[in-house]
Structure 1
């Protein structure tokens, strides 16, 4: 958010056997690829390093590790300390249709042992990938069976491993990576608390915070009856829609997909109103509010006034003042603050 502050680096290992789909998912999430384009990606040779700026001051030091047997052996012997030291997160990808699942489990157990020696505080996420290749009625039983085997090979991490069934062809990939990113952001709870305050001020049914470049959800606040929304994958669906929209803008404008963005999108119906707008340099905010022009206009103004408060947040997790400080008047926004004075809480 505030780029002038010191960046915090988090080392993330992306591992799994060759062909499991590691580089494909990395390219979709961080490099604005679409699923049909990943076929042209070649096999990863040794380790591909990527420094990915996320939420302004969080730098993901992503190590995409080639999964060929020779590379695996090298990681576990000659490069053991180099690869497995100072790791925040290990993401291990299993190909659900692998014909050598027992061999994959053996490699995984060796990697977990090395991680336990060099980075015992690391978090492990296991992605059971390419689930779209499995018949729908068999997916859940197979997923649960795989979890049981993998957990049994997780050594000292067996009680803390998180599992996700994923595919590059649906929203499941975004759901998994959203949870991974949420774990990596040290001040996510602080952002969530501030978002809760903002939701109460503007009478929002739901607020969803998205990182602008990747379109991954950072966190959300759901209030009232919105908690009964039957579309439990709505956050990931919006991620997918935003990503597709960015790619469409890139094709028609010539702007790189990573830089393509929009100012605001609005939807107004008789049952609800919804808009997505820029919150900070690095985030977009989606808001679902009651069907009232008064509440809608008040929400947009108050979000504008709260922007600098969110922009102040960084990964240092220092204690901050409450949301009320977001409404301090400066020479630049005094006129707008005067206009908004009667709108706080959506009341004229």
Structure 2
């Protein structure tokens, strides 16, 4: 990979160019062919940014392919907040002055030691997910948008589901969602609770019950929901329960909070002794992605390990925010942020916008791979991360060269691939 010279961050005129190991930049003006420190000061091979080094001794590299003593190109900065505007542009809010600092990425960093430890299960795990609700409530439409790359307006041509439709969706390599989309006609619903009861409700990990917020048969909806809960309590008492109050776009905006709160209280009361989590959803905005991201999050194995690795990765490269998306659905799997942001719905908006952009690319026989948004205040990168994920990195110091952040992302891929790999039960990611 050849990197063009990029202006440096200080008054020393320093920039970047390939050097040291193949494909990695070194400081301009370094006479050492191994890419060691500038100004006659020896330093480890590799690359870094800024005029001073992060203190620390030599050691094995956190990126095994780079060899010993590699340096990471990162900067320290923090921004006040950012959010996505639905009108397809970015809005940012700034009131801080920041400067870049280099950070040593090496085994001497305790954050990296913790990042590199993770135990993965030995076999693929299938999770049974029931998608239930009255006919016409919108179950198949939302499933098609999330998992089959439909756009909202195209769901109008979908017909009613007959009996049960099965689909298998692979997440993060070793997680397979066994999705049961159950038709909601009265005849089918009655069969689910009688002749098919054991088959339908056995070994369920998640029950998702969809309510049409404008249904004229609310009492019947509640009756069927209670029947589902009774069957779940008998056959899968540990299942997680989610209720989606759907088609909220049909409710007047000033009434949505009140109506949803009332419905949520009723559902939680009816669900006892089981607990349910309620979401308001619509296929026409980001609420659908918020709900499904939260549901899938509950099913991801070792999600705490993944979050720890993502947090440590973000801290090492000193990113302000890092998001991990599932590659096919663009659901948010995990994220790290250094501070609270004012737009709490920004993740779902990103998912929705990028998913729509991916679909537009596919119509042109092209594939979406990466995106960079940069101005004088920030830089945001969306790039392929592992075989099952995309990553978004937000840096609040725009003076950092794009090449540096992209190399950091590229170098982290191997470690996050290992988090998804199906290996023996005793396999762990340890520093070598």
TM-score > 0.5, shorter chain as reference: yes
Choose from 66, 81, 92 the match for 2:198.
Answer: 81
Alignment of 1:1-348 (within 5 A): 6-157=123-274, 160-224=275-339, 227=340, 229-253=341-365, 260-262=367-369, 264-294=370-400, 296-314=402-420, 320-321=428-429, 325=431
Once the two structures are superposed, what CA deviation does each residue of 1:192-251 show, in whole Å capped at 9, x if it has no partner? 100011101111000000011001110100014xx2x22211111110111111111111
Indicate conservation of the 8 Å contact 2:173/2:421, yes or no. no
Q: Distance in 2 between matches of 1:261 and 1:92?
A: 33
Number of residue pairs matched?
A: 310
**Residue of structure 1 in register with 2:23 after alignment:** none
TM-score by length of 2: 0.69
Structure 1 residues 115 and 315: CA distance shift in structure 2, 3 A: farther
In structure 1, C-alpha distance between the alignment counterparts of 2:373 and 2:196, rounded to whole Å: 53
Classify 1:202/1:296 alpha carbon distance in 2 versus 1 (closer, same or farther; 3 Å): farther
Structure 2 CA distance for aligned equivalents of residues 152 and 174 of structure 1: 26
* Separation (CA, whole Å) in 1 of partners of 2:189 and 2:414: 46
How far off is 1:292 after superposition?
A: 3.7
SS at match of 2:397: coil
Structure 2: gaps (5+ residues): 1-120
Distance of 2:355 and 2:262 partners within structure 1: 33
1:314 deviates by 3.3
Q: Which has the larger helix fraction? A: 1
CA contact (8 A) 1:165 1:172 kept: yes
TM-aligned CA distance change 1:33 to 1:108, over 3 Å: same
Gaps of 5+ in 1: 329-348
Paired residues of 1:202 and 1:295 also in contact (CA < 8 A): no
Rg larger in structure: 2
Map Cα deviations across residues 289-331 of structure 1 (whole Å, 9 max, x no partner): 1224436433322221111110011387867446xx4xx7xxx
Task: Report the 3-state secondary structure (helix = DSSP H, G, I; strand = E; otherwise coil) of the residue aligned with 2:237.
Answer: coil
Which region of structure 1 is more displaced relative to structure 2, 313-322 or 52-61?
313-322
Distance verdict in 2 for CA 1:116–1:315, change over 3 Å? farther
Q: Is the 8 A contact 1:123 1:161 kept in 2?
A: yes
2:243 and 2:138 map into 1 onto residues whose CA distance is: 13
**Equivalents in 1 of 2:166, 2:235: separation in Å?**
19
1:137-164: CA deviations, max 9, x gaps?
A: 110110011112112221321xx21000
Greater alpha carbon shift after TM alignment, 297-306 vs 71-80 = 297-306
TM-score, with length taken from structure 1: 0.85
How far apart are 1:48 and its partner, in Å? 0.2
2:273 match: secondary structure: helix
CA contact (8 A) 1:46 1:66 kept: yes
Q: Secondary structure at the match of 1:37?
A: helix
Aligned-pair Cα RMSD in Å: 1.8
Deviations 1:166-192 (A, max 9, x none): 000000000000000000102111111
Distance 1:125 1:282, change over 3 A: same
